[in-house]
Structure 1
Amino acid sequence: MRQLLLVLASILTLSSLDIPTIAIAGTMPNLPEMRLVQKLNCNNAQTQAAINECTKLSYQNADKKLNQVYQQLISTLERSRKQKLIAAQLAWIKFRDTNCEFERSEYEGGSIVPTIYFGCLENTTKLRTQQLQEYLKPNP
Protein backbone atom coordinates (compact mmCIF):
# COMPACT_ATOMS: atom_id res chain seq x y z
CA MET A 1 0.00 0.00 0.00
CA ARG A 2 2.83 2.38 0.88
CA GLN A 3 4.49 1.68 -2.47
CA LEU A 4 1.22 2.48 -4.26
CA LEU A 5 0.95 5.80 -2.42
CA LEU A 6 4.55 6.67 -3.33
CA VAL A 7 3.92 5.88 -6.99
CA LEU A 8 0.71 7.95 -7.00
CA ALA A 9 2.44 10.86 -5.25
CA SER A 10 5.24 10.73 -7.83
CA ILE A 11 2.74 10.73 -10.68
CA LEU A 12 0.85 13.69 -9.20
CA THR A 13 4.09 15.60 -8.73
CA LEU A 14 5.25 14.85 -12.26
CA SER A 15 1.85 15.67 -13.75
CA SER A 16 1.91 19.11 -12.16
CA LEU A 17 5.08 19.99 -14.07
CA ASP A 18 4.65 21.78 -17.37
CA ILE A 19 6.72 19.24 -19.31
CA PRO A 20 5.91 15.89 -20.88
CA THR A 21 6.77 13.07 -18.50
CA ILE A 22 6.78 9.32 -18.48
CA ALA A 23 5.32 7.29 -15.66
CA ILE A 24 6.91 4.06 -14.52
CA ALA A 25 4.95 1.15 -15.97
CA GLY A 26 4.74 -2.35 -14.64
CA THR A 27 5.78 -1.73 -11.04
CA MET A 28 2.28 -2.46 -9.75
CA PRO A 29 0.74 -5.63 -11.19
CA ASN A 30 -2.92 -4.61 -10.67
CA LEU A 31 -2.66 -1.10 -12.14
CA PRO A 32 -3.58 -0.41 -15.76
CA GLU A 33 -0.72 0.25 -18.14
CA MET A 34 0.60 3.81 -17.89
CA ARG A 35 1.42 5.73 -21.03
CA LEU A 36 3.44 8.73 -22.02
CA VAL A 37 1.73 11.83 -20.73
CA GLN A 38 1.69 14.62 -23.30
CA LYS A 39 0.68 18.22 -22.84
CA LEU A 40 -2.60 18.89 -24.62
CA ASN A 41 -2.22 21.46 -27.42
CA CYS A 42 -5.71 22.68 -28.26
CA ASN A 43 -4.37 25.09 -30.87
CA ASN A 44 -3.20 22.13 -32.91
CA ALA A 45 -5.11 19.02 -31.78
CA GLN A 46 -4.05 16.10 -33.97
CA THR A 47 -6.26 13.22 -32.85
CA GLN A 48 -9.98 12.82 -32.34
CA ALA A 49 -9.34 12.11 -28.65
CA ALA A 50 -7.43 15.41 -28.33
CA ILE A 51 -10.13 17.29 -30.24
CA ASN A 52 -12.77 15.78 -27.95
CA GLU A 53 -10.84 16.81 -24.84
CA CYS A 54 -10.20 20.32 -26.16
CA THR A 55 -13.88 20.77 -27.00
CA LYS A 56 -14.77 19.66 -23.48
CA LEU A 57 -12.31 22.16 -21.97
CA SER A 58 -13.67 24.92 -24.17
CA TYR A 59 -17.21 24.16 -23.01
CA GLN A 60 -16.07 24.14 -19.37
CA ASN A 61 -14.58 27.62 -19.85
CA ALA A 62 -17.82 28.86 -21.41
CA ASP A 63 -19.76 27.36 -18.49
CA LYS A 64 -17.54 29.15 -15.96
CA LYS A 65 -18.17 32.44 -17.75
CA LEU A 66 -21.93 31.79 -17.77
CA ASN A 67 -21.90 31.11 -14.03
CA GLN A 68 -19.97 34.31 -13.36
CA VAL A 69 -22.46 36.39 -15.35
CA TYR A 70 -25.40 34.56 -13.74
CA GLN A 71 -24.07 35.25 -10.23
CA GLN A 72 -23.45 38.87 -11.13
CA LEU A 73 -26.99 39.25 -12.48
CA ILE A 74 -28.79 37.44 -9.69
CA SER A 75 -27.07 39.61 -7.09
CA THR A 76 -28.66 42.70 -8.66
CA LEU A 77 -32.24 41.40 -8.66
CA GLU A 78 -34.99 41.77 -6.11
CA ARG A 79 -36.51 38.59 -4.68
CA SER A 80 -39.43 38.13 -7.10
CA ARG A 81 -37.20 38.56 -10.15
CA LYS A 82 -34.56 36.26 -8.65
CA GLN A 83 -37.15 33.47 -8.42
CA LYS A 84 -38.11 34.01 -12.06
CA LEU A 85 -34.48 33.97 -13.19
CA ILE A 86 -33.84 30.77 -11.24
CA ALA A 87 -36.87 29.11 -12.86
CA ALA A 88 -35.83 30.34 -16.30
CA GLN A 89 -32.27 29.11 -15.82
CA LEU A 90 -33.42 25.66 -14.72
CA ALA A 91 -35.68 25.43 -17.78
CA TRP A 92 -32.85 26.63 -19.99
CA ILE A 93 -30.45 23.99 -18.62
CA LYS A 94 -33.01 21.27 -19.34
CA PHE A 95 -33.47 22.63 -22.88
CA ARG A 96 -29.71 22.90 -23.48
CA ASP A 97 -28.99 19.37 -22.31
CA THR A 98 -31.91 17.80 -24.18
CA ASN A 99 -31.16 19.74 -27.36
CA CYS A 100 -27.49 18.75 -27.31
CA GLU A 101 -28.42 15.10 -26.65
CA PHE A 102 -30.57 15.27 -29.79
CA GLU A 103 -27.80 16.93 -31.79
CA ARG A 104 -25.23 14.30 -30.88
CA SER A 105 -27.64 11.40 -31.50
CA GLU A 106 -27.04 11.74 -35.24
CA TYR A 107 -23.45 10.55 -34.67
CA GLU A 108 -24.13 7.90 -32.01
CA GLY A 109 -21.38 5.31 -31.89
CA GLY A 110 -18.82 7.52 -33.60
CA SER A 111 -15.65 8.89 -32.09
CA ILE A 112 -16.79 12.43 -32.91
CA VAL A 113 -19.78 12.24 -30.52
CA PRO A 114 -18.02 14.09 -27.64
CA THR A 115 -16.94 16.89 -29.98
CA ILE A 116 -20.49 17.31 -31.28
CA TYR A 117 -21.97 17.22 -27.77
CA PHE A 118 -19.51 19.56 -26.07
CA GLY A 119 -19.52 21.88 -29.09
CA CYS A 120 -23.30 22.14 -28.81
CA LEU A 121 -23.08 22.75 -25.06
CA GLU A 122 -20.45 25.44 -25.62
CA ASN A 123 -22.35 27.28 -28.36
CA THR A 124 -25.65 27.18 -26.48
CA THR A 125 -23.94 28.31 -23.27
CA LYS A 126 -22.24 31.24 -25.01
CA LEU A 127 -25.59 32.38 -26.39
CA ARG A 128 -27.17 32.21 -22.93
CA THR A 129 -24.25 34.16 -21.47
CA GLN A 130 -24.88 36.92 -24.02
CA GLN A 131 -28.57 36.95 -23.11
CA LEU A 132 -27.80 37.28 -19.40
CA GLN A 133 -25.25 40.02 -20.08
CA GLU A 134 -27.97 42.03 -21.80
CA TYR A 135 -29.94 42.07 -18.52
CA LEU A 136 -26.95 43.65 -16.81
CA LYS A 137 -27.01 46.67 -19.10
CA PRO A 138 -28.80 49.71 -17.73
CA ASN A 139 -32.20 50.51 -19.22
CA PRO A 140 -32.16 53.59 -21.48
Structure 2
Amino acid sequence: MILSALLLATAQAADADPDCGSEELAQIELNWCAWKGAEEADAELNLLWDRIGGDMRARMLPSQRAWLAYRDAQCEAEGKMWEGGSAHSMIVGMCMERMTRARMTEIRNSHPEGPDSY
Protein backbone atom coordinates (compact mmCIF):
# COMPACT_ATOMS: atom_id res chain seq x y z
CA MET A 1 0.00 0.00 0.00
CA ILE A 2 2.77 2.44 0.97
CA LEU A 3 4.63 1.34 -2.15
CA SER A 4 1.77 2.16 -4.52
CA ALA A 5 1.06 5.53 -2.93
CA LEU A 6 4.66 6.72 -3.14
CA LEU A 7 5.10 5.42 -6.67
CA LEU A 8 1.93 7.20 -7.79
CA ALA A 9 3.00 10.47 -6.17
CA THR A 10 6.43 10.26 -7.77
CA ALA A 11 5.08 9.26 -11.19
CA GLN A 12 2.58 12.13 -11.25
CA ALA A 13 5.44 14.60 -10.94
CA ALA A 14 7.26 13.17 -13.97
CA ASP A 15 6.17 13.93 -17.53
CA ALA A 16 7.05 10.56 -19.06
CA ASP A 17 8.66 7.33 -17.96
CA PRO A 18 12.40 8.00 -17.74
CA ASP A 19 15.08 5.67 -19.05
CA CYS A 20 16.14 4.20 -15.72
CA GLY A 21 19.37 2.91 -17.26
CA SER A 22 20.52 6.41 -18.08
CA GLU A 23 23.31 7.98 -16.06
CA GLU A 24 21.86 11.46 -16.58
CA LEU A 25 18.65 11.53 -14.58
CA ALA A 26 17.16 14.31 -12.51
CA GLN A 27 16.33 13.51 -8.89
CA ILE A 28 12.62 13.16 -9.63
CA GLU A 29 13.47 10.58 -12.28
CA LEU A 30 15.77 8.73 -9.89
CA ASN A 31 12.92 8.67 -7.38
CA TRP A 32 10.53 7.32 -10.02
CA CYS A 33 13.01 4.63 -11.09
CA ALA A 34 13.58 3.52 -7.49
CA TRP A 35 9.86 3.14 -6.92
CA LYS A 36 9.36 1.44 -10.28
CA GLY A 37 12.01 -1.10 -9.28
CA ALA A 38 10.29 -1.60 -5.92
CA GLU A 39 6.92 -2.04 -7.60
CA GLU A 40 8.33 -4.60 -10.04
CA ALA A 41 10.00 -6.54 -7.22
CA ASP A 42 6.74 -6.51 -5.26
CA ALA A 43 4.86 -7.87 -8.29
CA GLU A 44 7.46 -10.64 -8.68
CA LEU A 45 7.15 -11.49 -4.98
CA ASN A 46 3.37 -11.73 -5.36
CA LEU A 47 3.77 -14.11 -8.31
CA LEU A 48 6.19 -16.24 -6.30
CA TRP A 49 3.83 -16.24 -3.34
CA ASP A 50 0.97 -17.36 -5.61
CA ARG A 51 3.03 -20.41 -6.64
CA ILE A 52 3.45 -21.54 -3.03
CA GLY A 53 0.70 -23.95 -2.22
CA GLY A 54 -0.90 -25.95 0.51
CA ASP A 55 0.79 -26.57 3.81
CA MET A 56 3.94 -24.65 2.88
CA ARG A 57 1.96 -21.47 2.27
CA ALA A 58 0.04 -21.89 5.54
CA ARG A 59 3.29 -22.38 7.45
CA MET A 60 4.93 -19.37 5.82
CA LEU A 61 2.00 -16.94 6.11
CA PRO A 62 2.80 -15.67 9.65
CA SER A 63 6.43 -15.03 8.75
CA GLN A 64 5.44 -13.33 5.48
CA ARG A 65 3.09 -10.97 7.30
CA ALA A 66 5.78 -10.20 9.88
CA TRP A 67 8.36 -9.68 7.14
CA LEU A 68 6.11 -7.20 5.30
CA ALA A 69 5.74 -5.11 8.46
CA TYR A 70 9.50 -5.34 9.08
CA ARG A 71 10.37 -4.33 5.50
CA ASP A 72 8.11 -1.30 5.60
CA ALA A 73 9.43 -0.19 9.00
CA GLN A 74 13.07 -0.80 8.04
CA CYS A 75 12.79 1.16 4.82
CA GLU A 76 11.04 4.04 6.54
CA ALA A 77 13.84 4.04 9.13
CA GLU A 78 16.47 4.10 6.39
CA GLY A 79 14.65 6.99 4.76
CA LYS A 80 14.38 9.03 7.98
CA MET A 81 17.82 10.56 7.66
CA TRP A 82 16.80 11.80 4.21
CA GLU A 83 13.38 13.04 5.32
CA GLY A 84 12.58 16.42 3.85
CA GLY A 85 15.20 16.01 1.16
CA SER A 86 14.67 15.26 -2.50
CA ALA A 87 16.34 11.83 -2.23
CA HIS A 88 14.02 10.51 0.52
CA SER A 89 11.67 8.75 -1.89
CA MET A 90 14.57 7.22 -3.81
CA ILE A 91 16.21 5.87 -0.64
CA VAL A 92 12.98 4.28 0.57
CA GLY A 93 12.22 2.83 -2.87
CA MET A 94 15.70 1.35 -3.24
CA CYS A 95 15.38 -0.23 0.20
CA MET A 96 11.99 -1.71 -0.67
CA GLU A 97 13.35 -3.27 -3.85
CA ARG A 98 16.50 -4.58 -2.16
CA MET A 99 14.63 -6.14 0.74
CA THR A 100 11.89 -7.60 -1.48
CA ARG A 101 14.40 -9.27 -3.77
CA ALA A 102 16.23 -10.67 -0.74
CA ARG A 103 12.93 -12.05 0.57
CA MET A 104 12.30 -13.81 -2.74
CA THR A 105 15.67 -15.53 -2.35
CA GLU A 106 14.78 -16.56 1.21
CA ILE A 107 11.46 -18.01 0.06
CA ARG A 108 13.04 -19.90 -2.83
CA ASN A 109 15.77 -21.27 -0.57
CA SER A 110 13.19 -22.44 1.98
CA HIS A 111 11.71 -24.99 -0.43
CA PRO A 112 12.75 -28.50 0.63
CA GLU A 113 13.53 -29.43 -2.98
CA GLY A 114 15.66 -26.38 -3.65
CA PRO A 115 15.35 -22.79 -4.89
CA ASP A 116 14.16 -23.71 -8.39
CA SER A 117 11.13 -25.60 -7.07
CA TYR A 118 8.78 -22.58 -6.94
TM-score by length of structure 2 reads 0.76
Corresponding residue for 1:40? Answer: 18
Dislocated runs of 4+, deviation >3 Å: 36-39
For residues 119 and 67 of structure 1, the distance between their equivalents in structure 2, rounded to whole angstroms, comes to 18
Corresponding residue for 1:71? Answer: 50
For residues 37 and 95 of structure 1, the distance between their equivalents in structure 2, rounded to whole angstroms, comes to 33
Higher share in helix:
2
For residues 18 and 104 of structure 2, the distance between their equivalents in structure 1, rounded to whole angstroms, comes to 27
- What are the equivalent positions in structure 2 for 1:1-140 lying under 5 Å apart? 37-44=15-22, 45-73=24-52, 75=53, 77-78=54-55, 81-136=56-111, 138=113
The offset of 1:137, in angstroms, is 5.2
C-alpha distance 40-70 of structure 1, shift in aligned 2 (>3 A)? same
For residues 69 and 31 of structure 2, the distance between their equivalents in structure 1, rounded to whole angstroms, comes to 23
The offset of 1:70, in angstroms, is 1.3
For residues 113 and 71 of structure 2, the distance between their equivalents in structure 1, rounded to whole angstroms, comes to 27
Deviations 1:4-25 (A, max 9, x none): xxxxxxxxxxxxxxxxxxxxxx
The offset of 1:95, in angstroms, is 0.3
Higher relative contact order (CA 8 A, sep 6+): 2
Deviations 1:44-98 (A, max 9, x none): 151000000011111111111111111112x1x32xx433311111100000000
Query: What is the identity, as a one-letter code, of the residue corresponding to 2:42?
Result: D
Structure 2: stretches of 5+ with no match in the other structure: 1-13
3-state DSSP class of the match of 2:37?
helix
Q: In terms of Rg, which structure is larger? A: 1
Percent identical: 25
Equivalences, count: 100
C-alpha distance 39-60 of structure 1, shift in aligned 2 (>3 A)? closer
TM-score by length of structure 1 reads 0.65
